Amino acid sequence: MKLPLPLFYLLFLPFLTACNPQEITDPEPTGPPNIILIISDDHAYQAISAYGSQLIQTPNIDKIGAQGVRFDRAFVTNSICSPSRAVILTGKHSHINGLRDNIEIFDSTQQTFPKLLRNNGYQTAIIGKWHLKSQPTGFDYWRVLPDQGHYYTPEFRTPEGLDTLDGYVTDVITDLAINWLDSLRNDTMPFMLMYNHKAPHREWLPGPDHLGAFMDEPLPEPATLFDDYSGRGRAAKEAEMRLADHMGLTNDNKIHPDIVDSLGFQEFMGWYAPVSLRNVNRMNEEDRRNWEEIYGPINENFKNNTPSGDELTRWKYQRYMQDYLGCIQSLDDNIGRLMAHLEEQGLADNTLLIYISDQGFYLGEHGWFDKRFMYEESFRTPLLMQWPGKIQPGTVNKDLVQNLDIAETILDAAGVSIPADMQGRSILPLFSEEKPKWRDALYYHYFEYPGIHAVKRHYGVRTDRYKLIHFYNDIDEWELYDLQEDPQEMKNVFGEPEYQEIKDELMKRLRELQAQYKDEI
């Protein structure tokens, strides 16, 4: 009989280690590791100090990389929330797992890594953002936000119905996670916990501890804040995610609708009408008072010294960053709180801890907020991991890895075999002395169009140096970027004769990847 690996560990490892005198004195943890997967929402690598952020210090997230590995070339397959989460759960591209955009419903009868872990002796839990509409499956315990959830007084979907809790969502999710670790799980089994945050998703509402943070000094602007897209095609020009034109003064920048109206501003009415200050209205009295103390003067200033033109864009950028970074500060604090708890409980040594965002985000680069494009800021995602004794502290990895690899990596760490129909690869062999031959190119495909932010459908390939993108549907345009010569992707060189050979190679590689991943275009 072939025992599942975790069961093998549990039954025989005590005997094996007892036979080896060296191991008796060795305090190294034995048995399958615990796994904690932290997925944040829209956290740009540009807002993590381990990635050289000029905007914020994130000591706790940094610590994961310092104690383990920081991936500098981690990407997603489809830069949007629900699809990225479905890719992480299944290890399959969107066109295979069936969830291509935020509108479709996840088929939760399909194979996922939590189900495979559960069948192999793990206890599994998910707390926080889910965003897959259907009921979570494969979890012994679940408390998930309905849809996007709320920053204040958050509601949670549970097997028993909807629960509403007091407080700020990032604190509450952490409290629930710690409570599950301490009191609810079965501590005779290894566990896998998905600890998923809402922060720092739009409309960027910081918690009570960080409401006024980041307001003392102007924050540095990105070099491409006033990009006019002249070096690119229609897709960039027609996207509706510019701070100048599409960011809401009310919901996003937190100016009272009466002031916005009285000054004669027209809010952008895109796919959805802006929902004014909806989360502010969910604050308890004390939080609301503190909020008014900070945001009241911001409103007054805006009324009395109303900026216009480029100055308004600059003002919006500052407002945007103050709130976005405030959300991240609570995220980092709470991750630190969870990590300290793992240490105190003696769990840190035998836990693989992974930090990833569902995708990257624009922090004013190209004049944008939001994500979706295959351009670097949204295609890339932060990824850091620690696993004491298995991953050398301070490792920096530059291989092309993807959210597609997370399920396979977790199964590999747990000693559970990786199903052949998963499309990514375990990244653990990258830490072994004999590094395997790794992939030389990544495949990407974005589908949510027509839709909010009007980012056209596109697919593409990225190698170490180049990126080829095809925008299709109501457009047929190709873009090619030389990331070495043009890291900010300001100039499409698709039509340039000196790139002909590279273009042909990339075209061939793209078709090969589409065949490999079974994406029929």
* Binding flag, residue 81, Ca ion (CB under 5 A): yes
Give the whole-angstrom CA distance, residue 138 versus residue 409: 18
Token pair 């793209």 is found at 510
Give the whole-angstrom CA distance, residue 190 versus residue 97: 27
Using the minimum distance from each CB to ligand SGN, give the nearer residue, 239 or 414. Answer: 239
452-481 mask for ligand SGN (x: CB under 6 A)? Answer: xx----------------------------
Give the whole-angstrom CA distance, residue 447 versus residue 77: 11
88-127 mask for Ca ion (x: CB under 5 A)? Answer: ----------------------------------------
Residues 149 to 208: which contact ligand SGN by CB under 6 A? 201-203
The sign of the torsion formed by the CA atoms of 460, 410, 174, 216 equals: negative
* Binding flag, residue 299, ligand SGN (CB under 6 A): no
Q: From the centroid of its chain, how far is CA 343?
A: 25
What is the maximum alpha-carbon separation in the chain? 80
Residues 489 to 518: which contact ligand SGN by CB under 6 A? none
Among 42, 62, 323, 377, binds Ca ion (CB under 5 A): 42
Shortest spacing between CB 101 and ligand SGN, in angstroms: 9
Among 39, 41, 50, 204, binds Ca ion (CB under 5 A): 41
Shortest spacing between CB 114 and Ca ion, in angstroms: 20
- From 3-11, 41-49, 100-108, 454-462, give the range in contact with Ca ion by CB under 5 A: 41-49
Using the minimum distance from each CB to ligand SGN, give the nearer residue, 24 or 269. Answer: 269
Residues 320 to 359: which contact Ca ion by CB under 5 A? 358
Using the minimum distance from each CB to ligand SGN, give the nearer residue, 215 or 452. Answer: 452
Q: What angle do CA 307, 310, 316 make, to 5 degrees?
A: 65
Neighbouring-strand partners of residue 402:
75
Give the tokens for residue 156: 């949670």
Residues 353 to 392: which contact Ca ion by CB under 5 A? 358
**Nearest alpha carbon to residue 56 among 275, 252, 333:** 333
Residues 120 to 149: which contact ligand SGN by CB under 6 A? 131, 148
Give the tokens for residue 262: 């009285």
453 binds, among ligand SGN, Ca ion, none (CB under 5 to 8 A by kind): ligand SGN
Question: Strand 141-144 to strand 123-128: parallel, antiparallel, or no bridges (unpaired)?
Answer: parallel
* Binding flag, residue 413, Ca ion (CB under 5 A): no
Amino acid at 42: D
Using the minimum distance from each CB to Ca ion, give the nearer residue, 41 or 332. Answer: 41
Beta carbons within 8 Å of 395's beta carbon, 6+ residues apart: 68, 69, 70, 431
Using the minimum distance from each CB to Ca ion, give the nearer residue, 106 or 315. Answer: 106
Residues 234 to 263: which contact ligand SGN by CB under 6 A? 251
452 binds, among Ca ion, ligand SGN, none (CB under 5 to 8 A by kind): ligand SGN
362-381 mask for ligand SGN (x: CB under 6 A)? Answer: --------x-----------
Neighbours of 324 (CB within 10 A): 29
Reported as type and span, the H/E element at residue 75 is: strand 74-75
Q: What angle do CA 100, 105, 106 make, to 5 degrees?
A: 80
Amino acid at 174: T
Neighbours of 392 (CB within 10 A): 11
Among 47, 81, 126, 427, binds ligand SGN (CB under 6 A): 81
Shortest spacing between CB 92 and ligand SGN, in angstroms: 19
Shortest spacing between CB 358 and Ca ion, in angstroms: 4
Residues 37 to 66: which contact ligand SGN by CB under 6 A? 41-42
Q: Is 489 exposed, middle or buried (0-12, 13-18, 19+ CB in 10 A)?
A: buried
Tell me the chain's radius of gyration from C-alpha atoms. 23
Q: What share of the chain is helix, strand, coil (3-state, %, to 5)?
A: 35, 15, 45
Using the minimum distance from each CB to Ca ion, give the nearer residue, 78 or 123. Answer: 78
Q: Which residues bind Ca ion (CB under 5 A)?
A: 41-42, 81, 358
